[in-house]
Structure 1
Amino acid sequence: MDKLHHVIEAQQFSRERLSDIFAVAREMEQVVSRYGSNILNRRVMATLFYEPSTRTRLSFESAMKRLGGDVITTENAREFSSAAKGETLEDTVRIVQGYADVIVVRHYESGAARRAAEVASVPILNAGDGPGQHPTQALLDVYTIQKEVGRLDGITVAMVGDLANGRTARSLAYLLAKYEDVKVYFVAPEVVRMKEDIKEYLRRHGVFFAEEEDLFKVASIADVIYQTRIQKERFGDRTADYESARGRYIIDRELLKVMKDRAVILHPLPRVDEIHPEVDADPRAAYFRQAHNGLYIRMALLKMVLNA
């Protein structure tokens, strides 16, 4: 298998590659339990984040530091870098690659990570590109499903919420197609239904999917409920569309009653009102454990792309 270099999109991964990443992630859990490692000593990671981030940015930076490396960063690359003066993403990458061994990019435009990779001599890791993809989130999502449910073949997954703008749901759909006998239910308000390109990809790969309006019906058969936030920032001036979508599907105590005992609830976070806080204490609420798994996945990716 070729060495892992850039991480741009979820569909770039084979099932064999996914198994390798998850094996290294399990090793990283042990590394963290031993207070870190120095395998990336004297290596530098640059983070270029043109959109806000908490979990992704901090987990990447923590991952690099826990492996002995260093981090250089921009607080808000859209405002506090030369992008504010008109510099292109490509030129920024050409400059920053001279300062760092790997670059993590989050951008507001779909396809930005691929553009960065086309001019980069160092690995580019896509930390989310607008409404396009978020492959490292999808990796940690599938890793979490494997840990929580115990298998990846033969599972039923309900994707709920903003599926049109949700890059995390898009990337997860691509990865689920790598596994056998997976069933996917899309539960979304009409204005934010899953886009046709994902549905066509699932058709081509023989993955069963259906669009459903009744969340309670789907929750009763799902092994995984993947809830997402209605993303107000993607609606622009379409206020009416946003208001028609928000609050439509909420996970609360009543929904818990119909869920399977061994099912899990995931969410890429942040949440607004789509998961009631009363759900947090239920053992099926796995979203905080899910977020913590992001550290191990991102440590694994850094180790692999830097050939450590």
Structure 2
Amino acid sequence: MAKTWNGLETKEVMMTNQKWWGDYEGVGFPNLVASQQFDKEHLLTLFQLSKVLKRNVPKGTRQDWLKGCTCLNLFSEPSTRTRGSNEMSEGRLGAAKISFDNDQFSSAVKGESKTDAGLAWHAMEVDIIVMRHKDENAALDVARCLSHEENPPAVINGGDGKGQHPTQALLDLFTIFERFEKIDNLTIAMVGDLLRGRTVRSLAYMLSKFTGVKIIFVSSRFSKMGQDVKDYLNEHGVIWSETENLVEAARQSDVVYMTRPQLERERNLIKRWLMRRANRNLTMTKIIAEQMPMSSIIMHPFPRNEEIETDVDSNERAWYFWQMRNGVYIRMAIMLIIGNPTKAKELLAQAG
């Protein structure tokens, strides 16, 4: 018998009319495992729904649109903002939520594989799994495994090692869209540890869906963006360049996206020392911020170390705390699309 949430038919029936995003490596909607699953239309629709949810479910309010839906937040790597904003979005939409972090993830300590964990929670009838894992393609592997099961839960990638973080890229792009009311023809500088940072990888993939975008990769020689991302941008006709000069990049950019050095992902102690030393030249200061165009913004996925000085926080170009707030609404939109697409369509129709 078909499982129902709020009297609605099961996911498989409801989702035949619309694909809210596409496939990646044989895994598709409702799983969200990689940035490459989205095209421009998918993204703009998601942004529109996020705007509607901002108006309809503001702070201090709650809806029952996901009543009967159980969300599992399975984080085997540390997380603060991603886990917190997922729990907030699930709660505001009325879903039941279960959360485990690294210290509580005893089954992993006992040697359970990530795919067995997915199968176990499927047996306990969870509807959505948000997972963070140290292994690249972890969410993809679990989603692929569960695809052979009847009525499997949707799997959302909350960060997979040095691989991707698509929901972070979605909230980043939504923030840019809110600020400029477009993404086409913007110049975005990505600064810091581009080799090990998954947020910039996911953001670069999504930016390729828009016209006239230019990307400036700003990093030391120890932290350059991976060739796989550059090849992808070349295939999609995106103009990109590389530099170690933050000041020059900041002066010509609409968005400066700062990142911290991912020292925990580099085992070589000499390289870690060199990364830390090189990163001193990639610090956003008040002086550099004032040289940026007045309409430009500074972003950061956080946590920050020393790459943005705290006196930049008061600059009107600093948008990173607004960026964090958007994480709740973009994740609400994702959850609603997966758990109650009929309601998502209704809200979009009302918004016109």
Q: 1:121-166, CA deviations, whole angstroms, 9 ceiling, x for partnerless residues?
A: 1100000000000000000000000111221000000000000001
Check if 1:265 corresponds to 2:298. Answer: yes
User: Which residue in 1 is equivalent to 2:209?
Assistant: 178
CA distance in 2, matches of 1:15, 1:211: 25
Q: 1:54-108, CA deviations, whole angstroms, 9 ceiling, x for partnerless residues?
A: 000000011000001111111326x632110111000000001233110000000
User: Which residue in 2 is equivalent to 1:130?
Assistant: 161
For 2:57, what is the secondary structure of its paired residue? helix
Give 1:23's match in structure 2, choosing from 8, 30, 48. 48
Give 2:132's match in structure 1, choosing from 70, 95, 106. 106
Contact 2:76 2:102 (8 Å CA) reproduced: yes
Check if 1:244 corresponds to 2:277. Answer: yes
In terms of Rg, which structure is larger? 2
Contact 1:235 1:242 (8 Å CA) reproduced: no
Q: What is the aligned residue count?
A: 307
For 1:247, what is the secondary structure of its paired residue? helix
Give 1:81's match in structure 2, choosing from 84, 106, 110. 106
Contact 1:149 1:264 (8 Å CA) reproduced: no
Check if 1:68 corresponds to 2:94. Answer: yes
1:194 CA drift (Å): 0.3
CA distance in 1, matches of 2:50, 2:290: 33
CA distance in 2, matches of 1:55, 1:6: 21
Residue type of the alignment partner of 2:323: Q
Give 2:35's match in structure 1, choosing from 3, 7, 10. 10
Contact 2:299 2:319 (8 Å CA) reproduced: yes
For 2:72, what is the secondary structure of its paired residue? strand
TM (norm. structure 2) is: 0.85
Residue type of the alignment partner of 1:56: T
User: Which residue in 1 is equivalent to 2:81?
Assistant: 55
User: Which residue in 1 is equivalent to 2:141?
Assistant: 115
Contact 2:214 2:239 (8 Å CA) reproduced: yes
Contact 1:186 1:211 (8 Å CA) reproduced: yes
Higher mean displacement: 144-153 or 50-59: 144-153
1:237 CA drift (Å): 3.4
Residue type of the alignment partner of 2:293: K
CA distance in 1, matches of 2:334, 2:106: 26
1:11 CA drift (Å): 0.8
User: Which residue in 1 is equivalent to 2:115?
Assistant: 90
CA distance in 1, matches of 2:228, 2:41: 24
CA distance in 1, matches of 2:275, 2:283: 15
TM (norm. structure 1) is: 0.97
1:302 CA drift (Å): 0.3
Residue type of the alignment partner of 2:71: M
1:272-287 correspondence runs (5 A): 272-287=305-320
Give 1:256's match in structure 2, choosing from 284, 289, 311. 289
1:37 CA drift (Å): 0.8
| Fraction of identical pairs, as percent | 40
Contact 2:280 2:307 (8 Å CA) reproduced: yes
CA distance in 1, matches of 2:101, 2:206: 31
Q: 1:198-236, CA deviations, whole angstroms, 9 ceiling, x for partnerless residues?
A: 000000000000001211111111000000000110112
Gaps of 5+ in 1: none
1:135-214 correspondence runs (5 A): 135-214=166-245
User: Which residue in 1 is equivalent to 2:345?
Assistant: none
CA distance in 2, matches of 1:57, 1:236: 26
Higher mean displacement: 180-189 or 24-33: 24-33
Contact 2:32 2:157 (8 Å CA) reproduced: yes
CA distance in 1, matches of 2:222, 2:204: 19
Gaps of 5+ in 2: 1-17, 21-28, 147-151, 342-352
1:283 CA drift (Å): 1.2
For 1:260, what is the secondary structure of its paired residue? coil
Contact 2:191 2:217 (8 Å CA) reproduced: yes
Check if 1:292 corresponds to 2:325. Answer: yes
CA distance in 2, matches of 1:302, 1:142: 18
Q: 1:266-298, CA deviations, whole angstroms, 9 ceiling, x for partnerless residues?
A: 000000100000000111100000011000000
Residue type of the alignment partner of 2:307: E
Q: 1:174-217, CA deviations, whole angstroms, 9 ceiling, x for partnerless residues?
A: 00000000000000011110010000000000000000121111
